[in-house]
Amino acid sequence: MNEGRSPPTVADLFASRRVIVCCGAGGVGKTTVSASLALSAAREGLRVLAITVDPSRRLAEALGVSQHQQSPTMLSAERLAAVGVTPPGTLSAWMLDPQLVCDQVVSAVTKDPEAQQRMRQNRLYQNVSTLVAGMHEYTAVEALHGFIRDDHYDLVVLDTPPSRNAIRFLDTPSRANAFLDPRIFSVFLPSESNIFRRAGTALVNKILDLGLGKESRVELQEFLSLFQVILRHLNRNQEEMQRFFASQQVAFLLVTSPAQAAVDEAVHFEARTRELGVRIGGYVLNQSLAPAASLPYPTPERLPPLRGPVEESALAKLRALASVEAHGVDRDAALAASLRDRLAGRAPLWVLPRFTRENSAFEALLSLADLLMGRTFRM
C-alpha cells in the first residue's frame, strides 16, 4: 500500500463489490464478522443480505433468523434505526439450510409433482446434507447464485460453512465433477441400452438385493437417478459462480484468529485462491489481544496516596494478572506483525479485539462494525 494514502476500510469494498465472502477455519468468528460487515454496509445506505451459517443462539435471535426459513427476514425499520440504519439502507438475514436449497432445486429440475414427492420422501434424500461431503458448500454457492440473479440486494455478505479446511468452498465445482463421474452412477442405475447392459444390470440388482434388500435397493436407485440431475444443475450454476468469484464484483475476506495454525491456513487459502484467479480483498485478524497494547498498566502510581496492606495486596494481584495479559498482547502483536510482513502489501489487514466483557449480540456487532469502518488498531 502506498505510504501517502490512508489505509483502506471495508467501506472501500462496499463501494465496488456485490458480494463479500467471509472465509476461514472453524472457530475464528466468521459468522460474527460477516454479520458486522452486513450491518456496516446497511449503515452506509445499502440494501444488504447476510447469509449466515450456524450462528449462535444470541446472534440468530438478534438477526431474527431460524432454520427452515423459505426466504430472508428483513429486520424492522425500528430495530434498524436503533442501530443507525436509515433508508435506503436495509438489512435482511437468512440462515443457510442445505435441505431447503435441495428442495428448491428438486422443484426446478423436475416439474412432475409425483416425482418431487417421491424424492422428498426418500430416506437417503432426507439426509443428503450429511450423506454427501461438502453439501453445505454446494448449497451455499447455489443459494448465492439465486440471490445474485434476483438482483434484489446491493450487497450480499456470505458466511461460508464451517470447515477444518476452508479451501473446500472454492473446490466445490471440481468435487461436484468428481461425484458426477458416470461410472459411479452406471454401477447402481438400471440400463436398457442393449441386451448385455440389461443382463449386467439384472445381475447387479440381484447382488444389491442380497446386500440391501429389494426395497432399499429401489430407494437407492430412485435417489441416485434424480440426484445426478440435481448435481448437474448445481454444477452448472457453480461453474458460473466460480467465474463470478474471479471478477471484480466479489471480495473474499479471510478471517483468522491469533493462533499460528489458523494464520497458516488462511495464508494457504490465499495461495490457493491465486491459483484459481481469485483475489483476496483483505484479512481480518479476529479476537486479538494486540489492540489492548494501549491500555494502562496497573502501577503503584495509580493507587491513592494513603494506601494500606489491602490496596498493596490488590495491586500485586492485578499486576500478576496484567503480566499474563501483557504476554498475550505481545504474542498477538507479534503474530499480527508477522502476518502483515507475509502479506507484503497484497491485501489490507484489519485487527479486531477480543471482547472481555459480556455484550449483547447487537452491541458486539455494533462495536465490530465501528472498528471495521476505520476506528481500529492497524498494523
Residue 378 has what pLDDT?
A: 41
Q: What is the mean pLDDT of residues 325-340?
A: 92
* Statement: residue 227 has pLDDT above 50: yes
- DSSP character string of 9-62: -HHHHHHH-SEEEEE--TTS-HHHHHHHHHHHHHHTT-EEEEEESS--HHHHHH
pLDDT digit string (tens) for 155-173?
Answer: 999 998 766 556 666 666 5
pLDDT digit string (tens) for 113-154?
Answer: 988 888 888 888 888 766 666 677 778 888 888 899 888 999
3-state secondary structure (DSSP) of residue 306:
coil
Per the model's pLDDT, the better-predicted residue between 126 and 85 turns out to be 85
Residue 175 has what pLDDT?
A: 62
Judged by phi (left if over 0) then psi (alpha if -120 to 50, else beta), residue 306 lies in beta
Q: How far is 220 from 204, CA to CA, in rounded Å?
A: 13
Q: What is the mean pLDDT of residues 205-223?
A: 73
Q: What is the mean pLDDT of residues 255-274?
A: 88
Q: How confident is the model at residue 377 (pLDDT cuts 50, 70, 90)?
A: very low
The one-letter code for the residue type at 290 is A
* Statement: residue 194 has pLDDT above 50: no
Q: What's the chain's average pLDDT?
A: 81
Residue 10 has what pLDDT?
A: 83
* Statement: residue 325 has pLDDT above 50: yes
Per the model's pLDDT, the better-predicted residue between 289 and 1 turns out to be 289
Q: Which helix (H) or strand (E) covers residue 288, if one does?
A: strand 280-288
Domains of the chain plus CATH, in order, are: 10-179+248-372 (3.40.50.300)
Q: How far is 210 from 225, CA to CA, in rounded Å?
A: 21
CA dihedral 23, 26, 27, 31 (to 10 degrees): 40
Phi, psi angles (nearest 5°) of residue 300: -55, -30
Distance of CA 261 to the CA centre of its chain: 19
Q: How confident is the model at residue 316 (pLDDT cuts 50, 70, 90)?
A: confident
pTM above 0.75, yes or no: yes
